[in-house]
Homo-oligomer: A and B are copies of this chain.
Amino acid sequence: MARIVQKYGGTSVANVARIKYVARRIKAEVDAGHELAVVVSAMAGETDKLVALTEETAALHDAREYDVVVSSGEQVTAGLLAIALQDIGVQARSWLGWQIPIRSDDVHGKARIEGIEGSELIRRMGEGQVAVVAGFQGLGPDRRITTLGRGGSDTSAVALAAVLKADRCDILKDVDGIYTADPRIVAQAKKLARITYEEMLEMASLGAKVLETRAVEMAMNHRVRLQVLSSFNNEPGTLVVDEDEIVEQAVVSGLTYNRNEAKITLAGVADRPGVAAGIFGPLSDANINVDMIVQSSSENGATTDLTFTVAKGDLGQAVKVLEGQRDKLGFARLSPDPNVVKVSVIGVGMRSHAGAAQRMFKALAKEGINIQVISTSEIKISVLIDEKYTELALRALHSAYGLDAA
Residues of chain A touching chain B, judged by Cβ–Cβ distance below 8 Å, are 16, 19-20, 50, 53-54, 56-58, 60-62, 64-69, 71-72, 75-76, 78-80, 82-84, 86-87, 93-94, 96, 98-99, 143-145
Are A84 and B99 in touch, CB under 8 angstroms?
no
Q: Closest B-chain residue to A19, C-beta based?
A: B57
Which among B54, B62, B69, B78 is the interface contact of A75 at CB below 8 angstroms?
A: B69
Smallest CB separation, A138 vs chain B (Å): 15
What is the bound-complex CA distance between A336 and B65, given in angstroms? 54
Q: For A71, what are the chain B residues with a Cβ–Cβ distance below 8 Å?
A: 75
Are B58 and A69 in touch, CB under 8 angstroms?
no
Q: For A58, what are the chain B residues with a Cβ–Cβ distance below 8 Å?
A: 83-84, 86-87
Q: For A72, what are the chain B residues with a Cβ–Cβ distance below 8 Å?
A: 72, 75-76
- The 7 A-B pairs at the shortest CB distance, nearest first, are namely A68-B79, A69-B79, A58-B87, A72-B72, A61-B83, A65-B79, A16-B56
**Given A19-B57, A54-B83, A61-B87, 4 extra CB contacts under 8 A:** A16-B57, A53-B80, A69-B80, A72-B75
Are B57 and A80 in touch, CB under 8 angstroms?
yes
Q: For A61, what are the chain B residues with a Cβ–Cβ distance below 8 Å?
A: 83, 86-87
Are B80 and A94 in touch, CB under 8 angstroms?
no
Are A94 and B68 in touch, CB under 8 angstroms?
yes
What is the bound-complex CA distance between A332 and B355, given in angstroms? 102
Each complex incorporates copies of this chain amounting to 2
- Tell me whether chain A's interface is mostly helix, strand or loop, or mixed: helix
Q: For A66, what are the chain B residues with a Cβ–Cβ distance below 8 Å?
A: 79, 83
What is the bound-complex CA distance between A89 and B93, given in angstroms? 41
Which among B54, B83, B98, B143 is the interface contact of A80 at CB below 8 angstroms?
A: B54
Q: For A60, what are the chain B residues with a Cβ–Cβ distance below 8 Å?
A: 87
Are B144 and A99 in touch, CB under 8 angstroms?
yes
Which among B20, B65, B75 is the interface contact of A93 at CB below 8 angstroms?
A: B65
Are B76 and A69 in touch, CB under 8 angstroms?
yes
Which among B62, B68, B84 is the interface contact of A78 at CB below 8 angstroms?
A: B68
Smallest CB separation, A57 vs chain B (Å): 5
Smallest CB separation, A134 vs chain B (Å): 9
What is the bound-complex CA distance between A158 and B117, given in angstroms? 36
Q: For A143, what are the chain B residues with a Cβ–Cβ distance below 8 Å?
A: 99
Q: For A75, what are the chain B residues with a Cβ–Cβ distance below 8 Å?
A: 68-69, 71-72, 75
What is the bound-complex CA distance between A83 and B58, given in angstroms? 7
Are B57 and A87 in touch, CB under 8 angstroms?
yes
Q: For A67, what are the chain B residues with a Cβ–Cβ distance below 8 Å?
A: 79
What is the bound-complex CA distance between A1 and B80, given in angstroms? 45
Q: For A76, what are the chain B residues with a Cβ–Cβ distance below 8 Å?
A: 50, 53, 68-69, 72
Q: For A69, what are the chain B residues with a Cβ–Cβ distance below 8 Å?
A: 75-76, 79-80, 83
Smallest CB separation, A58 vs chain B (Å): 4
Q: For A79, what are the chain B residues with a Cβ–Cβ distance below 8 Å?
A: 54, 65-69
Q: For A94, what are the chain B residues with a Cβ–Cβ distance below 8 Å?
A: 65, 68
Smallest CB separation, A253 vs chain B (Å): 41
Q: Closest B-chain residue to A59, C-beta based?
A: B87
What is the bound-complex CA distance between A206 and B242, given in angstroms? 70
What is the bound-complex CA distance between A82 and B63, given in angstroms? 11
Q: For A53, what are the chain B residues with a Cβ–Cβ distance below 8 Å?
A: 16, 76, 80
What is the bound-complex CA distance between A251 and B97, given in angstroms? 56
Smallest CB separation, A214 vs chain B (Å): 25
